[in-house]
Amino acid sequence: MIATPAYTLRRPGGLLPTARKYASIFTTTLRDQLAYLGEMLLRTFFLVLILYIFLQLWRAAYASQGSDTMAGFTVAQMIWYLALTESIVLSRPSVSRMVDEEVRSGAIAYILARPYGYASYRLTTYLAERLLRFATTLAVAGTLALLYVGPVAVSPASLAAALVATAGALAIDFVAVFGIGLLAFWIEDTSSIDLIYSRAVMLLGGMLLPLDVFPDWLQRVAFALPFSAMLHGPARLALSESPVDFWPLLGRQLLYLALASAGVALLYRAALRRLNVNGG
Going by C-alpha positions, the residue among 31, 246, 75 that lies closest to residue 158 is: 246
Q: How far is CA 200 from the centre of its chain?
A: 14
Residue 92 near residue 132 (C-beta atoms within 8 A): no
Query: Alpha-carbon distance 122 to 178, whole Å?
Result: 8
User: Quick check: pTM over 0.85?
Assistant: yes
Phi, psi dihedral angles at 70 (to 5 degrees) = -145, 120
Residue (of 99, 25, 94, 122) closest to 271 by Cα position: 99
Question: pLDDT 10s per residue in the chain (280 long)?
Answer: 455 555 454 555 678 888 888 999 999 999 888 877 777 777 677 788 889 999 999 999 898 888 888 888 999 999 999 999 999 999 999 899 999 999 988 888 888 888 888 999 999 999 999 999 999 899 999 999 999 999 999 999 999 999 999 999 999 999 999 999 999 999 988 999 999 999 999 999 999 899 999 999 999 999 999 999 999 999 999 999 999 999 999 999 999 999 999 999 999 999 988 876 454 4
User: What residue type is 51 in one-letter code?
Assistant: L
Angle (nearest 5°) at CA 180 between 103 and 217: 170
240-248, long-range: CB < 8 A, 24+ apart: 240/155, 240/158, 241/153, 241/155, 241/158, 242/155, 242/157, 242/158, 243/155, 243/157, 243/158, 243/160, 243/161, 243/162, 246/161, 246/164, 246/165
Query: Phi-psi category of 79—alpha, beta or left, where left has phi over 0 and alpha has psi -120 to 50?
Result: alpha
